[in-house]
């Protein structure tokens, strides 16, 4: 099962988690990214490329499903304005065992960071600034390019 | 041939619009050559495209390198490196 959504509505993490867990054959790993509240950010705005965003997220989820033989992959990303502490993205992977679920979840968020057309703008009071891409994100995504270890 | 252009984030803000339909000349065969042509259209474009290393692009909604061909494309998007998640 693949669930992809891009939405301006606040993410209901409890409901998303319960939904993913219901598809879980034994193991589920989740990741939640939230708006930073530790460095003076008063609001975050998320812009995206409609159409291309869904296609990119579908591709990331499909790669994870195929590579780790997942029972389900979920990626839900918020767009528009949001406040510090609010969730931006929810990722879940379910599989028969923990290693596949954990690795697939990490893969999906790493790849999303470099492959999906979203742009963040941080507001600090009257100051608004586009967030710069980080080289460490490229490196995190690239580590999944190495051939996967053989199944134990 | 008419081509739809889309701009995002600070590229959009520098140019002052989120997209437009253009008729690029025949010598604009790649995204980079399209950018060369657009750059002559004014200060906003020149500012948006000043540092090519900070530009990314998609042709018909697929991420490409700037040297990718645009022959037959209907939509080209130009934007900064992505920062989602």
CA distance B43 to A89: 36
Which of A26, A101, A23, A17 has its CA nearest to residue A65? Answer: A101
Q: What ranges do the domains of chain B cover?
A: 28-63
Sheet holding B3-7, edge to edge: B19-22, B3-7, B75-79, B56-59, B62-64
Burial of residue B40 (number of CB atoms within 10 Å: 0-12, 13-18, 19+): exposed
In chain A, domain spans: 2-129+137-144
Residue A146 has pLDDT above 90, yes or no: no
Asked if A52 and B61 come within 8 Å (Cβ–Cβ), the reply is: yes
Per-residue confidence (pLDDT) for residue A3, from 0 to 100: 97
pLDDT one-digit tens code per residue, B2-56: 999 999 999 999 999 999 999 999 999 999 999 999 999 988 999 999 999 999 9
Residues A119, B63: C-beta atoms closer than 8 Å: no
pLDDT of residue A140: 87
Query: Average per-residue pLDDT in chain A?
Result: 93
Q: How far apart are CA A48 and CA A7, in angstroms?
A: 11
Residues of A in contact with B83 (CB under 8 A): 113, 118-120, 130-133
- The CATH architecture of the domain made up of A2-129+137-144 is Alpha-Beta Complex (3.90)
Does B7 reach chain A within 8 Å, measured CB to CB?
no
pLDDT the model gives residue B45: 97
Greatest alpha-carbon pair distance for chain A in Å reads 54
Check if the beta carbon of residue A112 is closer than 8 Å to that of residue A59. no
Interface check for A77 against chain B (CB to CB < 8 A): the answer is: yes
pLDDT at position B38 is 97
CB atoms within 10 A of CB A18: 10
Interface A–B counts its CB contacts (< 8 A) at 69
Q: In Å, how far is A24's CA from the nearest CA of chain B?
A: 23
Region A85-101: mean pLDDT is 97
pLDDT the model gives residue A149: 61
Please tell me the distance in Å from B79's CA to the nearest CA on chain A.
Answer: 9
- Determine the pLDDT at residue A145: 86
0.90 surpassed by pTM: yes
Residues of chain B neighbouring A46 (CB-CB closer than 8 A):
84
DSSP per-residue codes, A19-87: HHHHT-SSEEEEEEEE---SSS--EEEEEE-TTHHHHHHHHHHHHHHHHHT-SEEEEEEE-EEE-TT-E
- Lowest-pLDDT range of A15-24, A61-70, A81-90, A103-112: A15-24
pLDDT of residue B41: 92
Phi, psi dihedrals of residue B45, rounded to the nearest 5°: -65, -45
Establish if B9 touches chain A: CB-CB under 8 angstroms.
yes
CB contact under 8 A, B84 and A46: yes
Chain A: residue nearest B81 by CA? Answer: A133
The alpha carbon of residue A19 and the mean position of all alpha carbons in its chain are separated, in whole angstroms, by: 16
Which of these ranges, A2-11, A79-88, A137-146, B48-57, has the smallest mean pLDDT?
A: A137-146
**pLDDT at position A22 over 90:** yes
Span A56-74, pLDDT tens digits: 999 999 999 999 999 999 9
Q: Is A49 on the interface with B (CB under 8 A)?
A: yes
| Band (A151; pLDDT cuts 50, 70, 90) | low
Helices A135-142 and A98-115, axial angle in degrees (round to 10): 140
Q: Which helix (H) or strand (E) holds A17?
A: helix A13-22
Q: Please tell me if residue A6 touches chain B, with a CB cutoff of 8 Å.
A: no
Cβ atoms B84, A120 nearer than 8 A: yes
Neighbours of A121 (CB within 10 A): 18
Judge contact between B59 and B31, C-beta under 8 A.
Answer: yes
**Chain A residue with minimal CA distance to B77?**
A49
């Amino acid at each position: 099962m693949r669930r992809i959504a891009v939405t301006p509505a606040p993410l209901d993490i409890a409901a998303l988690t319960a939904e993913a867990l219901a598809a879980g054959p034994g193991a589920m790993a989740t990741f939640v990214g939230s708006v930073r509240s530790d460095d003076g950010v008063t609001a975050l705005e998320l812009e995206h490329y409609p159409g291309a965003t869904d296609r990119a997220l579908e591709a990331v989820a499909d790669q994870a499903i195929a590579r780790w033989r997942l029972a389900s992959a979920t990626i839900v990303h918020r767009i528009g304005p949001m406040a510090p502490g609010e969730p931006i993205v929810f990722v879940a992977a379910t599989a028969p065992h923990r290693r596949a679920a954990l690795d697939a979840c990490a893969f999906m968020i790493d790849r999303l960071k470099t492959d999906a057309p979203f742009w963040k703008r941080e507001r600090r009071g009257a100051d608004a600034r586009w967030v710069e891409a980080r080289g460490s994100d490229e490196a995190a995504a690239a580590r999944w390019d190495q051939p996967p270890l053989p199944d134990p | 041939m008419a081509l739809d252009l889309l701009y995002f984030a600070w590229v959009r803000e520098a140019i002052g619009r989120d997209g437009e339909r253009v008729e690029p000349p025949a010598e604009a065969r790649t995204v980079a050559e399209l950018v060369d042509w657009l750059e002559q259209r004014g200060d906003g474009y020149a500012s948006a495209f000043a540092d090519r290393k900070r530009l990314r692009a998609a042709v018909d909604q697929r991420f490409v390198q700037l040297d990718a061909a645009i022959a037959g494309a209907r939509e080209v998007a130009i934007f900064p490196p992505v920062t989602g998640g």
